[in-house]
Every structure is written in C-alpha cells, then in structure tokens.
Structure 1
Amino acid sequence: MYKHVQVSQSLYTSTVERALLFRNCSAEFINQIGMRVREEFFLPGETVMEQGNAIDQIYIVSYGSLVEVFVNIDGSEEFISKLEAESMFGEVAVLCRIPQPYTVRVVDLCKVLRIDKQSILNIMHIYFADGRQVLDNLLKFSKDAKLNKLESDIVFMISEQEVELSLKVNNAAYQGKTSHLKSLIKSGADPNRADYDGRTPMHLAALRGHEDIVQFLLQEGADVDVEDRFGNTPLLEAVKGCHTTVIKILRTVGGHLTGKNAGCLLHQAVLAGNSEVVRALLDNGIDPNYSDHNRQTALHIAASEGLVMIVQILLEYGADIHAIDRWGKTPVQESIQFGSNALKNIMKDAVMQTSKRLETPELQNVEDESTPVYEKSTADEKQELETCKSFLVNDEQMKRRCTIFPHPPWTAPGDGKRGVVTWVPDTVGELLDFASKYFGYKYNFVLNPNGGEIICTDHIRDSERVYVLYE
C-alpha cells in the first residue's frame, strides 16, 4: 500500500498541480489529490460523459484529445471546446452539484486521471483554504458560459464554508481543544476570523482561561485588541473570568480594556458585590470614576448599597468622593443615608484625607513631576468639602423617615396592610407611643422586615418599613 502511494505521488502529482483548477493550492493538498487519482484509458469515439447525467467523477486529461458538445432538443450538436493535456471536465457538475452540462467524447486515444466526487470533497473539507482556492479557480478559469449563472451559488458555497470553519475554530478555542485548533489553523483557518457576534478564537480562549490556546493564537498572529459587537476585548473577557495568568499574557503583549462595556461592567460588578472582579477591572486600567447616564459612579453605587469592602477598593484606586450625580448627591451623602457606621467612618477618613491635601500648602506648590501634584481646590470644591464635613459631623441629627405598619406582612389581615409615614424619633419608646396613638392599640415591640426586633432607632434606615406588635 505504501509503495502504491509513493508511485501515485510520483506519477500523478505533476499532472495534478498543472491543472488550472488546482492552481495556487498547497503542496499537501496537491499530494492528497495525487494519492487518490486513478488512471483510465478511452478509445476514439467513446462517450465519457453524457449531457444531463449526474456526475460523480472529475477528470484531468493526461494526453490525447476529447471534445465537449451541447446536444439540442432536436438532436443537433454544437461544438463547445476541445480538451487536451491538462484540461479538465466534470468539475462544474461535481463542485456546483448540477447535472453534466455537456457531452464529452473521445477524439484521439487518451489517458485521463479521475478522482471521485466524495474524495475531492473530503479533501477540500479538510484543507479549507485550498477548498476556497479551488472554488475561486473554478470561477476564474472556467470557459463555461453557463457558469456565470452559477456564480452566486459558488460565492454562497464559499461563504458557507467560511462560516462553518469559523464555528469549528471558535468551538475548539472555547472547549480548550488545543490539538484540534492547531490542525484547523494548519489547514488554513484564519485565527482572526470572527463569528456572527464578532467574537474571535482569542475572545473565547481568554473568556475560558485557556492559557495554552492564548499563547498559540498569539504565535499565529491573532489580534489581541479586537472588539466584538458588544465592545468586549480579549483582555476584558479574561478580566471578567478573573483568569490571572491569561490577563498577564495579554497585558504583556499590549492588550487593553478599550471595550465600550468596560465601565458598565464595573458598575455591574459593584452591584453584584463581586469585589474580585472590581479589583481586576481597576488593576487593568478601568476608570474608577466612570459615570453612567445618571452621572452615578461606582462609588455612588457601592456607598448606597453599603458595600464596605468595595468602597475601600474604589477609594484605593482613586475614586472621587465628591462626584455629583444628576440628583446632586455625592458618594459621601449616599453613605450617610444608607451606610453602616463602619462605612460612614471609612468615608469620614476619606474626607479628612482630602481636606488635609487641600489645606497643605507644601503640596499645592510642588513642581517636581515625580511627586503627585494636587490641584488647588476651587470655591465649589471647598464648598462641597464643607458640606461633606457637616454631614459627617451632624449625621446623627439627619432626619429619616420610616413607614410603620400595624402588623408584620406574614400575619397582616386584609385591612392591616396600610401603614403611616413618619419621621424616625430618637427612641423606640417614642415610636411605639406614636404607633399606639395612631392605630389605637398598645404596642410593645418594633420589628424590621426580616422579623428582627429593633431596640434602637439608630438601626432604622431612611425609608425603611417597620412593623409594630402588641403581643
């Protein structure tokens, strides 16, 4: 068998590579064709193919001559072309999946090389780039006038193959199938080919944290900063997955978090309470002061949600405590209204540190570029600072509202679901007295929405619901 393959390669390869259909194809592809062709002889006058028949062979003329004729309805024939050495026939019918357009007859004794339809289609399927080249050559070199009508079908076949190939490459990158991915790219797949969402193999490998595939794609010239249609870069995908090694690899080769989604992703990570992703995003260049359509920054959100750890991380990366949202509120004010004592203390320290920087003349006059320079505050900044200080000093005196209900939601009758809004008094006793007078019962306990007893009104947040009991 091995000797037969060697003989086939030496005898037929040169004939195959001279055929116009296989021009500019790779040596490996030509060898695969050469190993599968079989020689056949035809005598003068024989009909090799008949017009209108289904064809399952492609022929290359080695020597001799044949003619192509078109048979009309009345039986008359029109001469189409003469086929001599290195000419081909049957390729249009096989590759375009149509009936044979012409009858082919032998003029002089000839030898042809033939390859069956399934073999050539299998080889073209494996060697993707060569398969596209074959179809391009079919359009470029065919003298068949009818082929012009099939041009759109051939172009569609090419695009269909490219889409299928892109899906295979992306799937291999996503699944971490390194050897399969290498074989696909070796066969001509484009490492930068994107799918319908603009995702490249690099996006998917970074998302899944496949370090070896990321390295291989870089060696193959994959684009490290390409964005998908959602604005995600490979580095951004790696950051979302917290894949530390992949992040380092991509940053080393110049990857950036330039996606339009990066700022939104920071806000989403804050809302989810995912401190690991928040730190990873900030580590890789996301602006800690990115603001949304309401001009809210990540620090606004973290403060309003009482997320102490994330507030600390954001402050560490330079988040602005004086940023003003569309309602005129700063992160400091959010922390006072919604935060715990621990959060208020953190924000108080941040305000005091800002105050010291603004009030230190030595820092205002520094001109050395190697030392951080703090710009002199404007009148607005000073006013904002004083406002923040007053909030921090007098936060115990801030008025808060609560809604009192006469029954907990798990025991409330039909007429007991209506509550009353009031300012939070200084003591629980005052709150119980107010509820007793309003609802007409003597109440003894105050509960939060989770059923916990409230023993100090400092534990009631602004706009919180509370429930009174008389048992």
Structure 2
Amino acid sequence: MAPPTAGCCLSQVSRMIKAGANLNVPDYSGMTPLHVAVLSGNLRAVQLLVNEGAAKVDYKDTLGFTPYEEAVRLKNQPIADFVKAITEKAISDAADLARNMDFLNFCSSGNESMVRQMLKAGQDPDTADYDVRTGLMLACHEGHEAIVKLLLVNGADPAKKDNFGNTAMWEAVLNKHHAIIDLMLEFGGGLGMQGVALSATMSRLIKEQDLPVLHSLLRAKADPDTEDYVCQVPLHVAALLGNLQAPPLNHP
C-alpha cells in the first residue's frame, strides 16, 4: 500500500484543526506539531498549523528550542523566514495588548497624566478590553470627570457599546455621576437605550425604590413617556405602587 501523499496528510491535519484539536500539546520530548513540521521541512504544514490552528510559535521543547530556532539550526530559510515573521507579529501583538491594558488601567484609576501622555503618543482613545469596555466607559464608571473630558476632546466615541449593550453614559447614570452625565450630553453622549428596554429599566428602578439612579436616568434625557410592551409608561407603575417619592416623570 502506497504511503499517503503530503496533500492527504495536510487534509487530515486540517480536519483535526476544524474538529478543535489542541495543536500545542507536546510529545515526550516537548515538541509540538509545529516543531515536528519544522523538523520535517514541511513549509505547507507549518503555514497550516500557524494560520489555521493558532499553533504557538514561541513554545520551547525540552532542549529549549522554539520552532524558529529549529528552522535556523536546520538552515531552512523559507520556514525560518515565515516563522520569524509570525514570531515578530506575536511579540508586537503582545506589546500592543500590554500597552492597551495599561491605558485602560490608567483611565480606570484616574491617572490623568499618563492618559494624556499615551494619547499624545498616538493611543487610540477608543481602546477597549475583551468585553469592548472602553477607557471612556471605565472613567465614567469610576467618576473621573477630567479623564472623561480628556478622552472626549481627543475623539473618544460616546456612543460605543460594550458586549453587554452598555454605553459610557449608562455607566455614569448607574453610578450617579451627575457632572459626567452633563459632560457626556455636551459631547452627544446617549444612553443607547430606548423603547421597551428604557421603559422597563425606569419601571424596575421605581419598583426597587432606586430613586437616585432614576434621577440620574432622567438627567441623562431618558424619555419618561416611553411605553413598555403593554403600553404603560413609568408613571403608571409609580401610581400603581403609590410611589410619591419618584421624581417628576415629565420631560426634563
């Protein structure tokens, strides 16, 4: 029986990748599939493992060699060039991630000086974390008015939403930062919430007696005449509950 062709082997690898195979599990000598592909001089396999399988290019075997170092040792220039480029990109991506996290931490902690320096150095004012929470959202949450203004002046988008559908304005409302709410309004910021969702939120706040946040919500220009799915407005809910303490539910 004839041995399988390289193309056949690659198709099998591709199927394993699509099936979710972990390509970074080492063998007894600490070598990953990427090490093996490099040692066999199979550039197509190397490209497949990296481009489709997210194989780690910086993984070291038990002798301390990375796939790139193996390619250099074997004088396989095409593979060495490819893996080097990927390695440099991975290093660059890691540096970008670290820089972005520093920026977000400065926004959250209120370090205005460092935020200003990083913006001057070209940092994207809309830098976000894995939940798409931007520096503006974090600053609004923590009540750092100076940083909120600094970000907005430098072009931060007040309308952005995180993975949970929340805006920077909602963070300010939830934490009752009235000065920041007013500042966000000056720069066109909004709740990013309307219709049934907005009505339900106001009604919930009335039911929970969370009047300070309701005050903040109205300050952020929430429409008190927004109807819920049964065509009730929040005023109906306040009346039904006999809540005389609710703020005037009319247009601010």
* TM-score normalised to structure 1 length: 0.34
**Distance in 1, Cα, partners of 2:140 & 2:176:** 10
1:266 aligns with 2:202: yes
Displacement, 1:103? 10
**Alignment partner for residue 231 of structure 1, among 165, 168, 174?**
165
**Distance in 1, Cα, partners of 2:130 & 2:98:** 11
1:313 aligns with 2:223: no
1:297 aligns with 2:202: no
Give 1:218's aligned residue.
152
CA offsets, 1:205-234, max 9 Å, x none? 112221111121123221122222222222
- Larger mean CA deviation between 193-202 and 294-303 belongs to 294-303
**In the alignment, is the contact (CA less than 8 A) between 1:238 and 1:246 conserved in 2?**
yes
- Larger mean CA deviation between 228-237 and 180-189 belongs to 180-189
- The sequence identity of aligned pairs, in percent, is 28
Taking only aligned residues, the RMSD between alpha carbons, in angstroms, comes to 3.1
**What SS is found at the alignment partner of 2:160?**
coil
List runs of 5+ in structure 1 lacking aligned partners: 1-95, 105-142, 319-471
**Distance in 1, Cα, partners of 2:89 & 2:202:** 43
1:240 aligns with 2:174: yes
Give 1:99's aligned residue.
69
Displacement, 1:199? 1.1
**In the alignment, is the contact (CA less than 8 A) between 1:279 and 1:313 conserved in 2?**
no
Give 1:177's aligned residue.
111
Alignment-mate amino acid for residue 313 of structure 1: P
Structure whose CA Rg is larger: 1
1:208 aligns with 2:178: no
Evaluate the alpha carbon distance shift between residue 305 and residue 160 of structure 1 in structure 2; reply closer, same or farther with a 3 A threshold. farther
Evaluate the alpha carbon distance shift between residue 147 and residue 237 of structure 1 in structure 2; reply closer, same or farther with a 3 A threshold. same
* TM-score normalised to structure 2 length: 0.60
List runs of 5+ in structure 2 lacking aligned partners: 1-65
Which segments of structure 1 move beyond 6 Å, counting only runs of 4 or more?
none
**Distance in 1, Cα, partners of 2:211 & 2:128:** 32
**What SS is found at the alignment partner of 2:245?**
helix
Displacement, 1:304? 3.0
More relative contact order, 1 or 2 (CA 8 Å, 6+ apart): 2
CA offsets, 1:296-344, max 9 Å, x none? 432233233321121x622x339xxxxxxxxxxxxxxxxxxxxxxxxxx
Give 2:59's aligned residue.
none
1:164 aligns with 2:134: no
1:193 aligns with 2:163: no
Give 2:23's aligned residue.
none
**What SS is found at the alignment partner of 1:309?**
coil
**Distance in 2, Cα, partners of 1:97 & 1:181:** 38
**What SS is found at the alignment partner of 2:203?**
helix
**Distance in 1, Cα, partners of 2:187 & 2:92:** 34
Alignment-mate amino acid for residue 177 of structure 2: H
**Distance in 1, Cα, partners of 2:236 & 2:67:** 64
CA offsets, 1:426-463, max 9 Å, x none? xxxxxxxxxxxxxxxxxxxxxxxxxxxxxxxxxxxxxx
Displacement, 1:173? 1.0
Name whichever structure is richer in helix by fraction. Answer: 2
Alignment-mate amino acid for residue 118 of structure 2: L
Alignment-mate amino acid for residue 99 of structure 1: E
Q: In the TM superposition, what are the counterparts of 1:64-463 in structure 2 within 5 Å?
A: 98-99=68-69, 101=72, 145-259=79-193, 262-293=198-229, 295-310=231-246, 313-314=248-249, 316-317=250-251
How many pairs does the alignment contain? 183
Give 2:4's aligned residue.
none
